[in-house]
Structure 1
Amino acid sequence: MSSSVSSPPAKDTATMSSATPQQDYGWDSSLPTNSVEYCLSAIKRVLAEHGCQSVLDVGCGNGAMSGRLNALGFNITAIEPDQQGFEIAKNNHPDVDFHHLGVYDDTPQLGTYDAIVSSEVIEHLYDPAALLRLASRHLNKSGILVLTCPYYGYTKNLLLSLTNRWDDHHQPSRVGGHIKLWSHETMRAFLLSEGFDALKLSGAGRFWPFWASMLVVARKRPEMSR
């Protein structure tokens, strides 16, 4: 990942930093979110295709995705900085190794993994490169990074404009809302700038060009893995 960045201010998204005063993202249920339902099948398919066994789930929220992946036979470690989300996850999925950590924290207690999964997290991050720095530290030499985040592309953006849904879509007054909007082009460029190659950029939920989420599979460039 890239050069060091100072810690984000207190108004940064709660799910992403246990080092800032604002930590309450609002987790109050162990039920899976809608995104878990439509992202899980895509993520498990990628993990199986790449022969992954050990997986670090970054920003696991209430642990619903971690629990599902663990039940499918993957060896899951998961981190979540929000205290309430962490407690819900730990209490409802005792077979998963949860840690109360976020992407801005030092993480020497974590090992290395075949895959790092981060589902619907990067769009919340004040400093998204922090997620890739963490991945660079904790991926095996041939490991993969699997991300999902809300998908934006020309046709979908045009539809949102024509139907006057941008204001509702952005939810600017929401604490912990979406502050980064990613397209395939901006994601590919971002990955390259942080030493990762995009192996796959596709989508999940609904159908192209109206995918609900982007699916990203990436790997550290060889010079970054040494």
Structure 2
Amino acid sequence: MNVLLDPQTLHDKDWAGVKSSDSFYAGSLRYPDIARVIAGLGPKRLLDVGCGSGYLASLVRSSLPAVRMDGADISEVALRRAAKQFEHVWQVNLDADPLPAETGAYDTAVCVEVLEHLYDPAHTLEGIRRCLSTGGRIVATVPNLAFWRYRAALLLGRIPLAVSDPRHLHAFNPGAFSELLERSGFSVTGIYGHGERFRFLARSWPGLFSDILIAVAEKK
């Protein structure tokens, strides 16, 4: 069977292989930067959609030990590792299944490095919106096609990483990302950046100097 036709098998293979240890993430400042944005919102009950192994949740919990968290992911392999970080975990194919979480149960949702992989990201965002309470907020991230290195690659006739990864079905710049969130029932309150080297530039001008876009948006 072609593994590309079976997303669970594809992601299980990743989590059993290259992502089998959290050292895959630990060398990067990306997840600590995202965790700080989440912690700054002061969540009491959080839903992590595409939670993976729970590494990001562990960083959030280190700042907010009392936060209650649930997680959902397509990978059974990842969820076995994630279970210790969450009160509940659900195995969900976001392109096919509704989120089993209770309507209006969360003040904060997280969707990190997920939307670009989905056939219909708006469908997933609308499902997340249902799970949020009135005024609830989402922290979502996507690769930034407008990152200066990716612009340079295009000028040189190369395909940048943001679109060359066969698992990435969509590409975003700040405008397209904001439009997706607004169309899905959210009001964007901020777009933030991350940089491994030029951190000040990434935070000051995320549209140009950040390889990912970190959006905070409120449920309309």
Give the structure 1 partner of residue 54 of structure 2: 63
Aligned counterparts of 1:94 and 1:192: Cα–Cα separation in 2:
30
**Residue 35 of structure 1 contacts residue 120 of structure 1 at CA under 8 Å; is this kept in 2?**
no
What one-letter code is carried by the residue in structure 1 that aligns with 2:179?
Answer: A
Give the structure 1 partner of residue 209 of structure 2: 210
Question: Please, which of 26, 30, 41 is the counterpart of residue 21 of structure 2?
Answer: 30
Question: Please, which of 170, 177, 191 is the counterpart of residue 187 of structure 1?
Answer: 177
Structure 1's unaligned 5+ residue stretches are: 1-9, 16-20, 222-226
**Aligned: 1:147 with 2:146:** no
Give the deviation of 1:65 after TM superposition: 1.3
Aligned counterparts of 1:171 and 1:101: Cα–Cα separation in 2:
26
**Residue 144 of structure 2 contacts residue 213 of structure 2 at CA under 8 Å; is this kept in 1?**
yes
**Residue 81 of structure 1 contacts residue 102 of structure 1 at CA under 8 Å; is this kept in 2?**
yes
Give the structure 2 partner of residue 117 of structure 1: 110
TM-score, length-scaled by structure 2 = 0.77
**Aligned: 1:52 with 2:32:** no
Counterparts in 2 of 1:171-186, with a 5 A limit?
171-172=164-165, 174=166, 177-186=167-176
The structure in which a higher percent of residues are helix is 2
**Residue 144 of structure 2 contacts residue 162 of structure 2 at CA under 8 Å; is this kept in 1?**
no
Give the deviation of 1:192 after TM superposition: 1.9
After superposition, the Cα gap between the structure-2 partners of 1:81 and 1:168, relative to the gap in structure 1 and judged at 3 Å, is: closer
What one-letter code is carried by the residue in structure 1 that aligns with 2:62?
Answer: A
Give the structure 2 partner of residue 196 of structure 1: 186
Counterparts in 2 of 1:74-153, with a 5 A limit?
74-90=67-83, 93=84, 96-103=87-94, 104-110=96-102, 112-153=105-146
**After alignment, is 72-81 or 155-164 more displaced?**
155-164
Aligned counterparts of 2:157 and 2:72: Cα–Cα separation in 1:
37
Aligned counterparts of 1:130 and 1:123: Cα–Cα separation in 2:
13
Query: RMSD across aligned C-alpha pairs, in angstroms?
Result: 2.8
After superposition, the Cα gap between the structure-2 partners of 1:12 and 1:145, relative to the gap in structure 1 and judged at 3 Å, is: farther
Structure 2's unaligned 5+ residue stretches are: 197-201
With a CA cutoff of 8 Å and minimum separation of 6, indicate the structure with the bigger relative contact order.
1
Give the deviation of 1:198 after TM superposition: 0.7
After superposition, the Cα gap between the structure-2 partners of 1:204 and 1:13, relative to the gap in structure 1 and judged at 3 Å, is: farther
TM-score, length-scaled by structure 1 = 0.76
**After alignment, is 70-79 or 33-42 more displaced?**
33-42
